[in-house]
Amino acid sequence: MNIGAVLLAAGQSSKRDAALTFAEAGLPVFPCLSQGKRPLTRAGFLDASRDPDTVWSWWARWPNANIGMATGFASGIDVVDIDVGVARSGYAALETVQQAGLIDGEAARVRTPSGGLHVYFPADPANPQRCWQSAKAYVDFRGDGGYIIVPPSSLTAGGRQIEYRLCSLSSGRTHPVDAVALREVVDPRLPQPDERRHPTGTSEPTRLAAWVSRLQEGERNHGLFWAACRLVEAGYGTSDIANTLGPAAAQAGLSEREITATIRSADRRVSESVRHGSSRRESESPSGRTGEAPCLR
C-alpha cells in the first residue's frame, strides 16, 4: 500500500469514490458529518472498515459524508497533526522537530482546511503508538485509538468550503516516527515525585472507550466520569485519558468542554480520595456494584 498514491487518487475523486479507494487499498474508513469531523456511525472509528461493500453502502446513504480513517495499527498509518489557532500554531514546533531529524521518514503531507498539516508516516506493527495531544505546542499525534479526516473531505473555514488536500509527497525512504521522542521535544514533562507508574495493558482503555461511545443521553456524563476514574486509578494521566476517552465521548454526544471538565473532575476526585485515605472506590460502576465490568452494548 502506497499512501501517497492513495492520497493522490482520492484528491481527484468524489467522496464516495475516494472512500472506496482507501478501502480497496486496505485502509479502514468510516463516514463523518458533511463539513464536520463527527462520525456518523454508532461506534465511530471503531466501525472503520476496509470492506468495499460496507463502504459503498455508507456513502450511498450519506453521499456527502466526510471520510474518517482510523490511524495506528488498524491502517498502518500514523499522523502528526500540526494545528493552527487564532494567535499561534504548531509550525514552530514542526521546525524544531525537523531540525532534530525526528520526522525525516514522512510519506506525505496534507494541508488541512484551517491551514494546518497532517504529516503521514508508516506505522510499525510491532510497536503500536497511542495518540497524544500537546495543547501548548499545537501538535497532536494520531496513532492507535485515533483517526483523521482525509482528502477530499472538506470543512467550512472563514465562510468558505475548503478541502483537505495533498500538498507534498516524499521522494525519500519512509520510516515510522518515534512518537515518544517527538513528544519529549515539543512538550517535555517535568518529573513528578509522586507520579504513578503508567500501566502497560491496553485492553481496559479500549473496552472503556467502546463502552463510553455507546452511552445514551442521561447517562453520558456519569458514565464518562466513572470510566475516567477507572483510568486515573490505573495510573493514566488526564492527557492520556482525554486521548483515549475523548473521541468516544464526543461520539456519544458530549461537547469538548463537557469532556474536559468531566475528566478533570474525575482526576481531582480520585486524587482527593488517595490523599484522604478514602475507602470508597471512585471506579464504582454506574449501576452501583463495585468492580462490575461495563456493559459493551
Element (DSSP H or E) covering residue 155: strand 154-157
pLDDT digits (tens, 9 = 90+) for 227-246: 888 888 888 888 888 988 99
- For the record, the C-alpha cell of 123 comes out as 506505522
Give residue 181's pLDDT: 92
Cβ(35)–Cβ(65) below 8 Å: no
Give residue 277's pLDDT: 54
Give residue 275's pLDDT: 60
- For the record, the C-alpha cell of 114 comes out as 484551517
Crossing angle of helices 203-213 and 220-234, rounded to 10°: 170
Tally of residues, the chain: 297
- For the record, the C-alpha cell of 94 comes out as 514542526
Query: What are residue 246's DSSP bridge partners?
Result: none
Determine the CATH number of domain 3-186.
Answer: 3.30.2250
Task: Count the Cβ atoms, other than its own, within 10 Å of residue 268.
Answer: 12
Task: Count the Cβ atoms, other than its own, within 10 Å of residue 13.
Answer: 14
Residues with Cβ within 8 Å of 201's Cβ and at least 6 positions away in sequence, in order, are: none
Rounded-to-integer distance, Cα 69 and Cα 32, Å: 10
Strand bridging mode 117-122 / 77-82: antiparallel
Q: Which residue has the cell 521535544?
A: 185
Q: Which residue has the cell 461506534?
A: 43
**What parts of the chain have a pLDDT lower than 50?**
191-202, 278-297
- Cα maximum dimension of the chain: 61
pTM of full prediction above 0.85? no
Rounded-to-integer distance, Cα 46 and Cα 74, Å: 10
pLDDT digits (tens, 9 = 90+) for 25-56: 999 999 999 999 999 998 889 999 999 999 99
Give residue 36's pLDDT: 92
Tell which residue, 114, 34, 121, has the closest CA to residue 77. 121
The order of strands in the sheet holding 29-32 is: 29-32, 66-70, 147-150
Tell which residue, 150, 146, 139, 155, has the closest CA to residue 248. 146
Burial pattern 39-68, b for ≥16 Cβ within 10 A else e, equals: bbbebbbbbbbbeeeebeebbeebeebbbb
Tell which residue, 143, 132, 134, has the closest CA to residue 177. 143
Residue 70: alpha-carbon gap to chain centroid: 8
Give residue 252's pLDDT: 86
Residue 179: exposed, middle, or buried by beta-carbon count in 10 A (0-12, 13-18, 19+)?
Answer: buried
Cβ(45)–Cβ(70) below 8 Å: yes
- For the record, the C-alpha cell of 86 comes out as 487564532
Give residue 193's pLDDT: 44
